[in-house]
């Protein structure tokens, strides 16, 4: 199965502590890299993870709180020092990020050899913001103190696999394999027609990864998340701090697990823990009471989707 993995660079804490870096993740889909959020210290964690700077083409910012975007200028500056020439695309709610970041880039990165292209989108309705032949990335409107969106990475369906035994049995030439995968059949030397379904077997089902950070539970997103393979959902507080969670626009670990259960997700990853907790397993145990397939995010964690 082709690569689809998520690297946790910062598992998310509103206040950096000795235990956690603020939020950043990298999705690696078939060796194409996509960054989600870029907090302070992200490029240091990026280097530690051994990820390729040249393969990162797009950055998706969930919202304009500093613990999700303060690392952008430093990372962009480093790209320039490394001689990058390919455009860097940055996606964020509304158009405020370009207005705030452009003066800094003009001052600190004025001789960059590559363009930075900003893409704004509405934080209120789900929409596809990126699409290529391997993946579609759409927004998930979230409920926080400022406009905020999560992101849903949906792998494109692959072509079916051609049966090796049928290639040998029918002496199918190499040049015909691509057309058969695309849906054509094959006529053998005796004039017998073999249907496409007789020559192939189905590919692996496409996979999906959902990122839901800095939000109260948004049940309106559940239809979009149904059957998602892996869901990252913030779990800033335990249930005894539910009032604080509502006040600050965050979720409890139990609420994160309820979202995963409602979406019939295969796995849940929780993160963005409040610095008040010295032991994150308290949040893990609370989530497990509702949804058993849950893991704690931590720096360096690599998740296979």
Domain 4-158+204-304 has CATH 3.40.50.720: no
The tens digit of pLDDT for each residue in 73-94 reads 999 999 999 999 999 999 999 8
Of residues 76 and 182, more confidence is placed in 76
The tens digit of pLDDT for each residue in 100-158 reads 999 999 999 888 899 999 999 999 999 999 999 999 999 999 999 999 999 999 999 98
Catalytic positions are 67
User: What is the per-residue pLDDT for 14?
Assistant: 53
Beta bridge partners of 7: 26, 302
pLDDT above 60: residue 212 = yes
Q: 69 to each of 60, 91, 140, 286, how far by Cα in Å?
A: 10, 11, 18, 29
- The rounded distance, in Å, linking the Cα atoms of 23 and 41 is 10
pLDDT above 60: residue 163 = yes
Three-class DSSP category at 305:
coil
- The rounded distance, in Å, linking the Cα atoms of 235 and 240 is 13
Alpha-carbon torsion (301, 48, 155, 153), positive or negative: positive
pLDDT above 70: residue 13 = no
Of residues 176 and 24, more confidence is placed in 24
In the chain, where the domains are located:
4-158+204-304, 161-201
Tokens of 222: 């559940």
The tens digit of pLDDT for each residue in 222-232 reads 999 999 999 99
User: What is the per-residue pLDDT for 18?
Assistant: 58
Chain-centre distance of CA 181, in angstroms?
Answer: 29
User: What is the per-residue pLDDT for 214?
Assistant: 95
User: What is the per-residue pLDDT for 265?
Assistant: 98
> What is the value of pTM for the model shown?
0.91
Q: Report the chain's terminal Cα–Cα distance, integer Å.
A: 11
Average pLDDT over residues 242-260: 97
Long-range contacts of 238-242 (CB under 8 A, 24+ apart): 238/277, 238/282, 238/283, 238/286, 239/286, 241/274, 241/276
Inter-residue contact 265 to 233 (CB < 8 Å): no
Average pLDDT over residues 47-59: 96
Lowest-confidence range among 19-23, 58-62, 112-116, 228-232? 19-23
């Amino acid at each position: 199965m082709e690569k689809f993995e998520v690297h946790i660079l910062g598992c998310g804490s509103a206040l950096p502590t000795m235990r956690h870096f603020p939020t950043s993740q990298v999705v690696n889909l078939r060796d194409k890299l996509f960054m989600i959020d870029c907090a302070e210290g992200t490029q240091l964690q990026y280097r530690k993870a051994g990820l390729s700077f040249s393969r990162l083409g797009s950055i998706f910012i969930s919202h304009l709180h500093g613990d999700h975007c303060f690392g952008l200028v430093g990372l962009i500056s480093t790209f320039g020092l490394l001689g990058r020439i390919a455009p860097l695309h940055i996606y964020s709610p509304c158009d405020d990020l370009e207005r705030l970041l452009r003066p800094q880039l003009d001052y600190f990165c004025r001789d960059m050899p590559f363009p930075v292209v900003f893409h704004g989108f509405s934080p209120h309705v789900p929409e596809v913001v990126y699409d290529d032949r391997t993946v579609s990335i759409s927004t998930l409107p979230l409920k926080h103190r400022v406009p905020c969106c999560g992101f849903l990475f949906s792998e494109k369906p692959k072509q079916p696999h051609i049966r090796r035994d049928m290639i040998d049995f029918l002496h199918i030439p190499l040049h015909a394999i691509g057309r058969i995968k695309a849906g054509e059949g094959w006529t053998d030397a005796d004039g017998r027609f073999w249907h496409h379904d007789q020559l192939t077997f189905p590919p692996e089902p496409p996979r999906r990864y959902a990122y839901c950070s800095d939000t109260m539970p948004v049940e309106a997103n559940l239809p979009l998340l149904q059957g998602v393979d892996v869901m990252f959902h913030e779990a800033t507080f335990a249930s005894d701090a539910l009032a604080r969670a509502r006040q600050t626009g965050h979720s409890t670990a139990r609420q994160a697990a309820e979202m995963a259960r409602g979406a019939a997700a295969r796995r849940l990853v929780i993160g963005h823990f409040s610095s008040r907790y010295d032991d994150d397993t308290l949040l893990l145990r609370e989530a497990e009471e509702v949804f058993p397939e849950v893991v704690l995010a931590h720096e360096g964690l690599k998740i296979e989707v």
